[in-house]
Amino acid sequence: MLSRRDLLAAAPIAAIPHQIAVQDPKALPQRPAATPKTKFAANVEMWWGGLPFLQRIEKAHELGFPAIEFWPWRNKDVDAIAKLTKELGMQVAQFTAWGFSPGLNEAKNHAKFVTEIEASCKAAKTLRCSMMTVVGGNDVKGMTQAEMHDQIIAGLKLAAPIAERDGIMLILEPMNIRVDHKGHCLYGSEAAVRICRAVGSPMVKINWDLYHCHISEGDLCGHLREGFDQLGYAQVADHPGRTEPGTGEIHYPRVLKELAALGYTGYVGVECNPSKPEREAALGLWNADQW
């Protein structure tokens, strides 16, 4: 019979081979982002940030990512991105069509919003991309949160026919205001679900950033089940630190398993800051895909 003291003494020794295997870069899969269950899309704004933009896409391909995502398409060589991703057999999962300012939560900006969505749909077609992120906007002095949300609904209703005509889904992203986006008017999935249901378009859904929603409301799997009809796209990062899965408190194997069980088959954006060299950081994705 082993005593409790014997077991405690033996436990660290038993764990050593596993730790060595995980930490040794030579033991990692050569393309750890080529996961068997989840289709991850590298956010090439945050991964390989010191490299020229097109080189970041090449690096994503080397690690096995089947797709990329990025922030605004303005001031980027859309034709070159389209050409390179096609050559590499990759997809552009989504990009940002409308950011924080001017806010979608003010009626005076809606005409500009519609014009920009028209232009962004043309860029999306060049990129062979079927989704574009839109952001609600920061708090407006003198407006309640309900009033700002009503204006987001009104703006999205104006743009929905364009999205439906072109087959480009608008994905509305709720943020978090505790850590990253203080003063933003839309945070947590519940408000985003209400807004998208009020718009009532199959081409207006949620960019469900699980990092933001974990900070704002928790219960990731429960909220996904309740609002799954409005899910358009999912993103991941761990907390604290907004680093890769496996570095923080979110148990992503469970969350990704729930997404799959609900029937989600789309790309999962990896919008995080790698905490270590990218190939090693991608092991977090490989491990998150094991369930």
Whether 254 maps to a domain, the answer reads yes
Which of these ranges, 19-28, 83-92, 104-113, has the smallest mean pLDDT?
19-28
CATH code of the domain in which 177 resides? 3.20.20.150
The three-point CA angle 220-222-225 to 5° equals 110
pLDDT 10s digits, 171-199 = 999 999 999 999 999 999 999 999 999 99
pLDDT 10s digits, 238-278 = 999 999 999 999 999 999 999 999 999 999 999 999 999 99
For residue 151, the enclosing domain spans 38-288
pLDDT for the residue 21: 41
Nearby residues of 262 by Cβ (< 8 Å), 6 or more positions away: 224, 225, 228, 231
Whether 32 maps to a domain, the answer reads no
Nearby residues of 45 by Cβ (< 8 Å), 6 or more positions away: 70, 71
Could you tell me the pTM of the whole model? 0.91
Whether 144 maps to a domain, the answer reads yes
Count of domains for the chain:
1
Whether 134 maps to a domain, the answer reads yes
pLDDT 10s digits, 218-238 = 999 999 999 999 999 999 999
Distance separating alpha carbons of residues 182 and 185, to the nearest angstrom = 9
Share of the chain above pLDDT 70, in %: 91
